[in-house]
Amino acid sequence: MDRRRFVAWSFASGAAVSFFEFQKPWQLLIDSHVHVWKRDAAFPFAAEAKVPDGDFSVERLLELMAANGVARTVLIQVIHYKWDNRYLADVLRRFPGKFQAVCRVDPESATAPDDLSRLTAQGFRGVRLSLGAGADGDWIRGPRMAPLWRRCAELKVPMTVLAPVTRMPDLMPLIERNPELTVVIDHMADSPLGEPEKLGMLLALARFPGVFVKISHAWSLSQQAYPYADAMAQIKRLRDGFGAERLMWGTDWPVSLKDLTYARAVELYRDHLGWMTEREREWVLEKTAQQVWPFGL
């Protein structure tokens, strides 16, 4: 009996069988990209932060994970706290083994490498750089980058980059100088689907075996209805260029709530990658994230 017919039989017969109990064993879900925050005097937001209404705490996330069969999650330091990573450090202490976390440090600070070392000692696994396309992101070409990327390589933690696809050429010299470093590109570099030629700037990084890509943001890039066939076409190009072994899914919760619920974001990758082989889906849903951020599962 296939899964669809089994679901129908379960409901019709009143059998109390969870959807996740008969998923294939390899469908262990690891969400590679989530933010959490809450209003708490112990963990103040940055003075200039524009924080959306509501709290999106780790407790709320854990409820969503349990309801949607997500076993583990990689937490990315949210910009609302800027360089203050204490809330995520507290989450790591309170829920050992459930999460990996990526910190933020000031990339224009001379102390950034030592800040990263300190945070890594607290349990963080990797750092995230966020830069735009304009001149205010030109620090990626500046003198502070070499020591920070070198320290990341020495600590053997991933360098995660949020940047538009036009910035991908700026990463190439840094990657070339640190061939042993794992580099993760967030959200398909937000390469616009209406300009498919621009994806070539991201695909050019495929020649470096340590570069991985999150195939998140399908919803924000797409011009079509769920399940975003135009974004899936871009993901196919990335699969062909990088291989599924270097792609990973992510919800980007709660940022993604402007477009779809957490459950729908999980469903998008769990149920709508049927054009991939089972082995490829295993990598995208679990094994790639496990390789970059080992959970010991």
Q: Which whole-number Å values give the CA distances from 181 to 47, 111, 129, 246, in the listed order?
A: 34, 20, 15, 14
* Domains of the chain and CATH, by start: 24-292 (3.20.20.140)
Q: How far apart are CA 149 and CA 169, in angstroms?
A: 16
296 band by pLDDT with thresholds 50, 70 and 90: confident
Q: How far apart are CA 250 and CA 270, in angstroms?
A: 11
Angle at 78 between CA 59 and CA 271, to 5 degrees: 65
Tell whether the torsion through CA atoms of 132, 135, 136 and 138 is positive or negative.
positive
Does the structure show a pLDDT above 60 at 9? Answer: no
Distance of CA 6 to the CA centre of its chain: 33
Q: How far apart are CA 15 and CA 243, in angstroms?
A: 40
Q: What stretch of H or E contains 288?
A: helix 288-292
Angle at 286 between CA 233 and CA 166, to 5 degrees: 45
Sequence-separated (6 or more) residues with CB below 8 Å from residue 60: 36
Token readout for 173 is: 């010299």
Angle at 36 between CA 265 and CA 288, to 5 degrees: 55
pLDDT digits (tens, 9 = 90+) for 210-257: 999 999 999 999 999 999 999 999 999 999 999 999 999 999 999 999
Token readout for 227 is: 């399940």
Average pLDDT (186-193) is 98
Average pLDDT (81-91) is 98
Q: What stretch of H or E contains 144?
A: none
Does the structure show a pLDDT above 80 at 290? Answer: yes
Token readout for 60 is: 């709320």
Token readout for 87 is: 């809330």
Q: How far apart are CA 83 and CA 76, in angstroms?
A: 12
pLDDT digits (tens, 9 = 90+) for 122-173: 999 999 999 999 999 999 999 999 999 999 999 999 999 999 999 999 999 9
Q: How far apart are the first and last CA of the chain?
A: 29
What is the CB neighbour count within 10 angstroms for residue 258?
A: 9
pLDDT digits (tens, 9 = 90+) for 258-267: 999 999 999 9
